Structure 1
Amino acid sequence: MKQHPNITGLILAGGQSRRMGTNKALLEVNGQTLVERAIERLHPQVTQLLVSTNVPLELPANIPQLADTLDDAGPLAGVFTGLLWLQKRQRKCSQQRQRQHKQRHQVPPASAWLLTVAVDTPLFPQDLPQQLWEHASTNRDRLKIIAACSGKREHPTFALWHTDLIPALSEYLVEKQQRRLMTFIGQQSHRYVDFSTAQAHLESVGLGAGDPFDNINDPPALLRLAKRLQCERPLTQPVKVPV
């Protein structure tokens, strides 16, 4: 039987939002904030949910909020903090398994993969981790980053990241003081998965034309999103979560 890992999801909500002039995570669309929408959309797809934010948010207590360990380092700071959290969880699970070696099945191993999504992109695919995993099966044991693209547009904040990246990220961010997300990905073993066909799903649930990874950068984009979401219909079947 084909094995899939449990996946931890991280919502990147720590940006400064200079163009919007306010915290994007707290922007409301049809009575719901963008971070609430991201949680609602991602929660069924992952086994553990985290939020990367430098401003404490009013969220359920079972959703850890992670502040960046580095200042002014962009999305990679959130990725780095999330991977450190996941590595700590891996070690804790390993210690538990050692203590309960006679009942090892009761403490499943923690996944080495972290899924990231951007809080300002509320229409991302509702089967994102499953599709990233399944469509990047070749040489997956050697890949460290599996990211999304649609057509000719790359969307690196929507990606699976392996905890093996921690030393390289530390060197890139701390020692070299580099910040460019695309440059770092290019230096690692990676693959992009094309989500162009996800447009068909948006149309099927009444959201019309548009890239599923379109993000909110200004007030007009927020108004366009509100109009699209008024027409959204729910999925006819639940999303399958990797187990």
Structure 2
Amino acid sequence: MDKHCPYSAVILAGGSSSRMKTNKALLQLNGKPMLTIIIEKLQPFFQEIIIISNTPAQYANYNLPIYTDIFPNRGPLSGIHSGLKNITNQAAFFVACDMPFLDSSFAIKLTDYLGQFQAVVPRQGKYLQPLHAAYRKDCLPAVEQALQLECTKIRSFYDLVEVKYYDLIDNADYNWEKIFFNVNTPEEYQMALNIS
């Protein structure tokens, strides 16, 4: 399959998995680690895939570029920063390593807006999905400013860039509850096993 999307994909695997008590990226679903499932869904479409993790040795067998946070201990916003800094393309689709039910076609649909907007973020009412979103490299100054001010909420830089909010309420084509399901706890892992 042609990799027709001109952008990168960034998998954020920098969390401590404190609630799971084990590395959630490597939890098995249908006989495969969640990280493998995500990579296999993205690989046919994106020009490159990189992993952001502060424990890179755990993912060495994936033979993908792995980068650590440049601003340590600042949460997922720091992962987005490192991803933007290290991609070789002008933008990327970002996804957390605990979201194994992502839909590749929806990921590409988000990137379609990157010509007009610096960030494309799914929104359901007041709830955003900033770890299943697309960002252009020119968001970097705003992200760095937020990190330097120790604002660790991802949305803390949204007011400084052009954001397209992809309203899920107007787009009933996808199973949003499944796509955005993330595996943070043992209970959610059991639910994921039933979904898969």
TM-score by length of 1: 0.70
Identity of aligned residues (%): 26
Give the residue type in structure 1 aligned to 2:97.
V
Give the residue type in structure 2 aligned to 1:188.
V
Equivalent position to 1:112, from 90, 113, 121: 90
Q: CA separation of 1:218/1:154 partners in 2, compared to 1, >3 Å: closer, same or farther? A: same
Give the residue type in structure 2 aligned to 1:80.
H
Q: How many angstroms apart in 2 are the aligned matches of 1:41 and 1:150?
A: 24
Give the secondary-structure state (helix, strand or coil) at the position aligned to 1:127.
Answer: helix
Which protein is bigger by CA-based radius of gyration?
Answer: 1
* Runs of at least 5 residues in structure 1 that lack an aligned partner in the other structure: 90-110, 203-209, 230-243
- Residue of structure 2 equivalent to 1:171: 145
- Residue of structure 2 equivalent to 1:146: 120
- Residue of structure 1 equivalent to 2:68: 67
Using the TM superposition, give the Cα deviation of residue 113 of structure 1 relative to its aligned residue in structure 2, in angstroms: 0.8
Give the residue type in structure 1 aligned to 2:128.
E
What are the within-5 Å matches in structure 2 for residues 125-144 of structure 1?
Answer: 125-134=103-112, 136=113, 140-141=115-116, 143-144=117-118
**Which structure features the higher share of strand residues?**
2
Equivalent position to 1:193, from 151, 166, 171: 166
- Residue of structure 2 equivalent to 1:212: 179
Q: How many angstroms apart in 2 are the aligned matches of 1:5 and 1:47?
A: 7
- Residue of structure 2 equivalent to 1:235: none
Using the TM superposition, give the Cα deviation of residue 152 of structure 1 relative to its aligned residue in structure 2, in angstroms: 5.2
Is the contact between residue 7 and residue 48 of structure 2 (CA under 8 Å) also seen in structure 1? yes
What are the within-5 Å matches in structure 2 for residues 202-241 of structure 1?
Answer: 210-229=177-196
Q: How many angstroms apart in 2 are the aligned matches of 1:5 and 1:43?
A: 11
Using the TM superposition, give the Cα deviation of residue 37 of structure 1 relative to its aligned residue in structure 2, in angstroms: 1.3
**Structure 1 residue runs of 4 or more that deviate by more than 4 Å after TM superposition:** none
Is the contact between residue 49 and residue 65 of structure 2 (CA under 8 Å) also seen in structure 1? yes
Q: How many angstroms apart in 1 are the aligned matches of 2:108 and 2:78?
A: 25
Using the TM superposition, give the Cα deviation of residue 53 of structure 1 relative to its aligned residue in structure 2, in angstroms: 1.0
Using the TM superposition, give the Cα deviation of residue 72 of structure 1 relative to its aligned residue in structure 2, in angstroms: 0.9
Q: How many angstroms apart in 2 are the aligned matches of 1:226 and 1:192?
A: 31
Say whether residues 1:155 and 2:143 are aligned partners. no
* Runs of at least 5 residues in structure 2 that lack an aligned partner in the other structure: none
Using the TM superposition, give the Cα deviation of residue 188 of structure 1 relative to its aligned residue in structure 2, in angstroms: 2.2
Using the TM superposition, give the Cα deviation of residue 150 of structure 1 relative to its aligned residue in structure 2, in angstroms: 4.3
Q: How many angstroms apart in 1 are the aligned matches of 2:124 and 2:65?
A: 30
RMSD: 2.1
